[in-house]
Chains A and B, each alone.
Chain A
């Protein structure tokens, strides 16, 4: 187990391993997302209340799932980096942050678009949307903090600490916002807590969620590999790699 963790920590070893894993995740992501999209948009039945506009959940919900999971993975990577000083973990955390922010933005934007047919407005201070907005600010904070240190090592450690502080706070923020929302708005119609969906609706959703997660893994592997090459560019094994490629 320990040997495995430390092996995983070696950028060279991770580079080789990820090269083998990466294509599988790309393929899985592509297949699932194509199937899920076609299924969700063309074959799933329309919602009895919202008609066809509900189909945006096939983007909104996977993006919202990822927005939260990516933050947690980023904090876990940060913890691994801080405790075991494994640099690959920090490289992964560094490439996860912009992706997570992008997913949060997608969730927010799709939520706003969805708001037009449902609420007749682009923005409502809905509990889910508000939490999402705060999550976006947390992501922006982590990205900004990492970028503002002159020393990359310090920036990495600072971003890890902030991600861990954030991950402790996310549930607190989420529950307090939910509580705040129920206090101020007598429950009208919440976008995501719609009544139980029939299988024909949630099965394509499940496909999309798994597809999005595969996409996240594939993209993180690819971008971590780039980051390894960038940071280790003066190491011998990277130079040899380039010489072989030429």
Chain B
């Protein structure tokens, strides 16, 4: 364990004056981001259940509504946009709790916080993986469930698009809540309480987009607002996530 140490210390541990050599931050950050994305993707794909569970939950909740309300296609068609959006939102929420919990439990989160890279950027990579493996599959799966709720054919692409755009905002906003509750032993229910009120604008414009597509009004305005919400979340949420993680690591 000893040889090589002396040399490497000399190499690396020059005093703080060596910023110039340690600089090239953009490439360093790029490497760190790519590796974090890759690591989280590999981990999630190794535990496939974690990826599949929200999808199954989504399908199951959609199955409950016709049973609980009525199998009448006309009624279902009328409430389908809202049902699909609410169910997808809950499914995305379900998987949020585990976003940082694994890293918190095994100590990786401490290391993430101590990496010489901006924490906001690194947490953004983690959120991106969450969206890729939760929001995006939910958006792709939604048309299938739309068929079961007699959603008119013309609205499927808008349904998927609105869910894809909206769920990215949901992942970003939800990650703040997940980061705030990751240090708590039973954070799951609290997480929903914190996050669901913040989800309401996304829900309104997401379900509104599908509704508008069904009525033939054109969903462009809704999608534009969803895009604006996403842009705002992208700009602001990473700072919130980073601040929240710093708090949670303190216990």
Q: A145-B190, A148-B190, A151-B251 are in contact. Are A161 and B204 (CB under 8 A)?
A: no
Across the interface, A154 reaches (CB within 8 A) one of B183, B204, B236, B240, namely B183
Which residues of chain A are within 8 angstroms of B194 by Cβ–Cβ distance? Answer: 141, 144-145, 162
**Residue A149 lies at the interface, judged by CB distance under 8 Å to chain B:** yes
Q: Is B224 interfacial (CB 8 A cutoff)?
A: no
Residues of B with C-beta under 8 A to A141? 190, 193-194, 197
Q: How many Å lie between the Cα of A176 and that of B193 in the bound state?
A: 20
Whether B180 lies near A158 (C-beta < 8 A) is yes
* Closest beta carbon of chain B to A104's beta carbon, Å: 12
Residues of chain B at interface, number, CB under 8 A: 27
Return the chain B residue nearest A135 by Cβ: B197
Determine whether B144 belongs to the interface, using a CB cutoff of 8 Å to chain A.
no
**Residue B201, interface by CB 8 Å:** yes
A177 to B198, CA, bound (A): 12
- Given A141-B194, A145-B190, A165-B240, A154 and B205 touching (CB < 8 A)? no
In B208-251, the 8 Å CB interface with A consists of: 208, 229, 232, 236, 240, 243-244, 247-248, 250-251
A163-183, CB < 8 A from B: 164-166, 168-169, 172-173, 175-177, 179-180, 183
Q: A137-B193, A176-B201 are in contact. List 11 more A-B contacts (CB 8 A).
A: A145-B180, A145-B194, A148-B184, A154-B183, A154-B251, A158-B244, A158-B248, A166-B197, A168-B236, A169-B198, A176-B200
Expressed in whole angstroms, the Cα–Cα distance for A242 and B66 within the complex equals: 66
B44 within 8 A of A: no
- Complex Cα distance, B222 from A180, in Å, reads 11
A-B contact count (CB 8 A): 77
Chain A residues with Cβ under 8 A from B243's Cβ? 82, 161
Q: Are B204 and A149 in contact (CB under 8 A)?
A: no
Residues on B with C-beta less than 8 A from A145 are 180-181, 190, 194
Q: Across the interface, which residues of A come within 8 angstroms of B197, CB to CB?
A: 134, 137-138, 141, 166, 169, 173
Write the chain B residue with the least CB distance to A139. B197
Residues of A in contact with B (beta carbons under 8 Å apart):
82, 134, 137-138, 140-141, 144-145, 148-151, 153-154, 157-158, 161-162, 164-166, 168-169, 172-173, 175-177, 179-180, 183
Asked if B119 lies at the interface with its beta carbon under 8 angstroms from chain A, I say no
**A140 to B240, Cβ gap below 8 A?**
no
CB nearest neighbor in A for B195: A141
Chain A to chain B contacts (Cβ below 8 Å), 23 pairs:
A134-B197, A137-B193, A140-B193, A144-B193, A144-B194, A145-B180, A145-B181, A145-B194, A149-B183, A151-B251, A153-B250, A154-B247, A154-B251, A161-B240, A165-B240, A166-B198, A172-B201, A175-B201, A176-B201, A176-B204, A177-B204, A180-B204, A183-B208
- Cα distance A144–B183 when bound, in Å? 14
Q: Is B193 within 8 A of A173, CB to CB? A: no
Least CB distance from B180 to A in Å reads 5
Residues of chain B within 8 A of A138, CB atoms compared? 197
**B interface residue numbers (CB < 8 A to A):** 176, 180-181, 183-184, 187, 190, 193-194, 196-198, 200-201, 204-205, 208, 229, 232, 236, 240, 243-244, 247-248, 250-251
Chain A residues contacting B247 (CB-CB under 8 Å) are: 154, 157-158, 161
Question: Whose C-beta in chain B lies nearest to the C-beta of A141?
Answer: B194
Residues of A within 8 A of B183 (CB): 149, 154
Q: Which residues of B contact A169 (CB under 8 A)?
A: 197-198, 201
B212 to A: closest C-beta gap in Å: 9
Q: Do A144 and B248 form a contact, CB below 8 Å, given A161-B180, A165-B198, A169-B198?
A: no
Residues of B within 8 A of A153 (CB): 250
